[in-house]
Amino acid sequence: MAAELMSAEIAEQPAALQRLLDAAQGIADIGAAIAARRPRFVLLAARGTSDHAALYAKYLIEVRLGLPAGLASPSTLTAYGARPDLNDVLMVGVSQSGGSPDLLEAVAVARECGALTLSVTNNAASAMAQAAEWHVDVLAGPEKAVAATKTYSSELLALWLLVNSVAGAPLGAAADLPAVAQSLVARDSEVAQLATRYRFTDRLVTTGRGYSYPTAREAALKLMETSYVAAHAFSGADLLHGPLAMIDSDHPVVAVVPAGVGGEAMVPVLERLRDRNADVAVFGSAAAREFATVGFALPDDQPEELAPIVDIIPMQQLAQHMAVNRGFDPDQPRGLAKVTETW
């Protein structure tokens, strides 16, 4: 089956990340402007893949800025007509297209309710970009495959640049990301081989903790929309609070466990999975792969907060290869469109 678009756009990620790094000063200026306004709380509004980017930003904001952050429910502002007091709140709308009606309305209503507003999109001409006080263009370039790949990693990097700019921190730590991304793109054949193991899998679980939890959620979404696998994502902690009971040798687990605090917190989870005789594919550090049935080595020299920007690449490759192995076209998932309009 065809997979030319998705494959090409996965391979475009190193160049897309470099393009965004080259434009980092513009994001830094926005970050400085936001810092000067001193928001007391951050709300993030997004759907689908962009919702996982927003979850990543929530971790960044709370850890790096010490500000409480929450994922907004756009329906409270749109369908239910709520008008909360949002003075001194920063509302961040994240959308690759900038075209989802409910997200557009959520940003516009938040601004009416006193919020500082920022939109992060891949379309500077979109209505959502125009609705916010500030706009960050993720500069991923046109994305034609229905399954988002390069727009996701570009959203992550844009949000990292933004949060670190609000913090007044240097941005140089991200300079190596394009090269690291290229090294992972080049290992596609390794992922293709691993994917054959799960050709006949109809259900699986993805898991991770901390900054890697959004990666686990995005991996599950990619598998669902391209391979039609019933993939359920859980944080490592939540997996132990009940869902562990459904795990056995016939219910594979894909664990994202890079080095760092989140990876260390996953060790008890991996131990419990081993006790369940689970089939566990660990994408992660050497220490984490000791618990794996099969493993894929993730770069071990990336700062933990930057790792999700590149760690998603083998997850995207896994979804693509599983779809093709199962006879599906990941470029055109059934029933889906590139821009999903929700109200």
Instruction: Give the catalytic positions in this structure.
Output: 338
Q: How far apart are the first and last CA of the chain?
A: 34
DSSP string, 152-167: HHHHHHHHHHHHHHHT
- Measure the CA–CA gap between 22 and 291, rounded to whole angstroms: 39
- Output the CA torsion sign for 151, 152, 156, 159: positive
**Maximum distance among all alpha carbons in the chain?**
54
3-state secondary structure of 313: helix
Burial environment of residue 47 by CB neighbours within 10 A (0 to 12, 13 to 18, 19 or more): middle
Contact at 8 Å (CB) between 45 and 108?
Answer: no
Give the up-direction half-sphere exposure of residue 316: CA atoms within 13 A in the CB hemisphere: 31
- Measure the CA–CA gap between 209 and 257, rounded to whole angstroms: 8
